[in-house]
């Protein structure tokens, strides 16, 4: 308990290598709370500052923690083409409201190797005119890959945007067999 009589929230983190570059994984006692692409030192430091502010505790580097160990194992299997789904507890506390509703639908309703349009996802959550808001929810996703925002594409067949960059999105969709592997 802290001095205010509340349980302190412990945040653990690790940076892991992947075929799309270094990823920062962070978890709380509830589950995986954040996945961050391109985890350079600068990106890592900014992410850890945000997490420290949000959870009122200093994140601790702990790749050996049980949840991170399992997450690291599952991410390695995913990038090796040996895993299609992540089976990890998730901490949804960094997202709320419409964004949480959309991301939960995405996580449960769009399987590996499939894609969905922004407008289709909006209709699935009962907001047929909210395609742009769905795009904003994808951009706010604190758990990319696990909550697969890379599987959301434009209605006209365009790939759409992606917080990790369009090239990263192409690589992920190629890994899942949705797009052909780049020639070079």
| 149 part of the active site | yes
Q: Is 119 exposed, middle or buried (0-12, 13-18, 19+ CB in 10 A)?
A: middle
User: Which one from 67, 72, 94, 149 is the annotated catalytic residue?
Assistant: 149
What whole-number distance in Å separates Cα of residue 110 and Cα of residue 92? 18
What whole-number distance in Å separates Cα of residue 30 and Cα of residue 176? 28
Neighbours of 20 (CB within 10 A): 19
Let me know: does 13 contact 24? Beta carbons within 8 Å: yes
Q: Which are the contacts of 146, defined by CB distance < 8 A and separation ≥ 6? A: 32, 35, 86, 88, 90, 107
Q: Which are the contacts of 136, defined by CB distance < 8 A and separation ≥ 6? A: 99
Report long-range pairs for 130-133 (Cβ below 8 Å, ≥24 apart).
130/98, 131/155, 133/98, 133/102
Active site residues: 149
């Amino acid at each position: 308990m802290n001095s205010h009589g509340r349980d302190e929230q412990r945040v653990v983190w690790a940076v892991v290598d992947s075929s799309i570059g270094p990823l920062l994984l962070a978890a709380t006692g509830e589950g995986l709370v954040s996945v961050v692409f391109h985890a350079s030192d600068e990106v890592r430091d900014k992410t850890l500052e945000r997490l420290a502010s949000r959870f009122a505790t200093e994140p601790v580097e702990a790749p050996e923690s049980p949840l991170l160990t399992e997450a690291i194992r599952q991410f390695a299997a995913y990038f090796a083409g040996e895993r299609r789904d992540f089976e990890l507890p998730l901490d949804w506390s960094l997202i709320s409201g419409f964004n949480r509703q959309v991301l939960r639908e995405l996580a449960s309703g769009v399987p590996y190797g499939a894609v969905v349009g922004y407008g289709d996802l909006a209709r699935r959550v009962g907001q047929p005119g909210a395609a742009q808001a769905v795009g904003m929810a994808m951009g706010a996703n604190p758990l990319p890959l696990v909550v697969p925002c890379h599987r959301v594409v434009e209605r006209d067949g365009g790939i759409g945007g992606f917080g990790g960059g369009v090239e990263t999105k192409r690589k992920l969709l190629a890994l899942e067999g949705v797009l052909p592997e780049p020639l070079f």
